[in-house]
Structure 1
């Protein structure tokens, strides 16, 4: 990389035919510039410039080297300009793996707004509970809820979703309303897979509650739906429960208690990301942080 940088310095010296003027253009001391060119000549093994106190001239080898370097430096300049254009207005296909329920409730409106802001980006969105292989499959980024399990991936935090306890009015009418966390052990509770211990907390204390259910579910949408159908009590992010609460299908119980917050991450294989992916992650982080708790 240093030799490539020195090629660019050499081109500027030849264009100016003067070390002092070239150094002014480059914003570096002429003595440093002279040493870098001397080191370049030593690395190549050929003299590139004839230097006198009054002027510099290209050697034959220097003329050949300049013609090659000039094209390389120009290509590099154009590449940086194009990358700058991409950063200003990202383009291409953005391939994203998304969790089903979270993407429908939280991400769909945000992705629609992002698409309006960046009309040159096309979208390949895959909503699935499956943890895709970011190394072996052609995804740019995966959005995941919960703590990352693959330490080889780069995890960028996007949000932390607060959760609350909900039940349907029909369920409360039939089974009664829990008045304290310990009461939940006597209720039908709906949860994801084997999350059969709930950690609840209020402003001053925490409480672990062992819960049970007739249903083993792998979808937060199914948890919400079964709760709305009166099949049990559920802990849900406020945004996912909001529509059913607004329509009277769910109501908050134990309102002074909250469930454990759910972290949301953007996972990538590498830290070196194209502009379309960086802008997407930054957009989600900014707007998810603004979501109501």
Structure 2
């Protein structure tokens, strides 16, 4: 039984005529008759008595008519409610993002929430590969690094720079490298692992150790190990300004080996993207690049 056939039945009852219903719906009288007959067959009941002058409901037809009115009103109310939620920034928005990325755009997200007070948000920290997110419900995922082919939509937001840093005590003990080639021979490396399980520098042309001394999926851990003089860390430039100012870290190679990774906004489909998701993506795209540029520009080689 289809809603369209129920609507057609209601129109026939309210116009009292197959002919008038055909005029209103621009549908042949034979098609209307066939669909009403199919409705009756699905219910195993006769709904209408047809005469040459008018159409009259049977007793069962009258009961069914009132049921149809109730069902169609509920469907219309549900459709209006869902459309309203889809078109307005209300309800809940679930955001997955690594801590270090969320930290960079939390001001924009907070401002977004102030602008739309009827919207609540649920935050999840994630360092999981995108392939493991297929069975999770989320509205938006912020991720870093090259994204695998998948059913998700990945929209690039901004590039974030990475470079090599070390604690002065480590350099005093192990010597300061003057090229990436030296890292492969004489130094301990601290590597940041992307959610895709790739090491962040794997897209660089110079081959670095396949198995660094330390590997962590958190740049905070990488930074802590680097500040503890455990090795040379490959870190997001935007995260180390204070450490450089306080003398805890030194930037190597005079910034000549800086490279970047792309931050992506990831969501399920291009079709029927909720307005609240579109607005949040637009907010982050407008403001996060400026924030990263500001932090990176304050780093002195």
TM-score, normalising length: structure 1: 0.69
Structure 1 residues 195 and 95, CA, compared in 2 at 3 Å: closer, same or farther?
closer
Structure 1 residues 287 and 90, CA, compared in 2 at 3 Å: closer, same or farther?
closer
Distance 2:225 2:37 in 1: 76
The secondary structure found in structure 2 opposite 1:235 is strand
Over aligned residues, Cα RMSD in angstroms? 4.4
The secondary structure found in structure 1 opposite 2:12 is helix
Distance 1:222 1:70 in 2: 62
1:134-181 CA distance string (max 9 Å, x none): 7999977665556789x9x964424474443132694797543534x3
Structure 1 residues 21 and 166, CA, compared in 2 at 3 Å: closer, same or farther?
farther
**Which residue pairs with 2:70 in the alignment?**
71
Distance 1:45 1:35 in 2: 15
CA contact under 8 A between 1:110 and 1:287: conserved in structure 2? yes
Note the C-alpha offset of 1:229.
6.8
**Which residue pairs with 1:157 in the alignment?**
154
* Alignment map for 1:35-184 (pairs within 5 Å): 35-106=34-105, 108-127=106-125, 143-145=142-144, 155-159=152-156, 161-167=159-165, 170=168, 174=172, 175-176=175-176, 178-179=178-179, 181-184=180-183
Distance 2:14 2:239 in 1: 64
Distance 2:115 2:28 in 1: 44
The answer to which of 46-55 and 122-131 deviates more is 122-131
CA contact under 8 A between 1:162 and 1:258: conserved in structure 2? no
Note the C-alpha offset of 1:53.
4.5
The secondary structure found in structure 2 opposite 1:261 is strand
**Aligned partner (choices 276, 282, 285) of residue 278 of structure 2:** 282
**Which residue pairs with 1:18 in the alignment?**
17
The secondary structure found in structure 2 opposite 1:183 is helix
CA contact under 8 A between 1:241 and 1:250: conserved in structure 2? no
**Which residue pairs with 1:234 in the alignment?**
233
Consecutive unaligned residues of structure 2, counting only runs of 5 or more, are: 293-301
CA contact under 8 A between 2:96 and 2:138: conserved in structure 1? yes
Structure 1 residues 138 and 75, CA, compared in 2 at 3 Å: closer, same or farther?
same
Structure 1 residues 197 and 88, CA, compared in 2 at 3 Å: closer, same or farther?
closer
**Which residue pairs with 1:199 in the alignment?**
202
Distance 1:246 1:234 in 2: 17
The answer to which of 81-90 and 209-218 deviates more is 209-218
Distance 1:266 1:101 in 2: 17
Structure 1 residues 80 and 59, CA, compared in 2 at 3 Å: closer, same or farther?
same
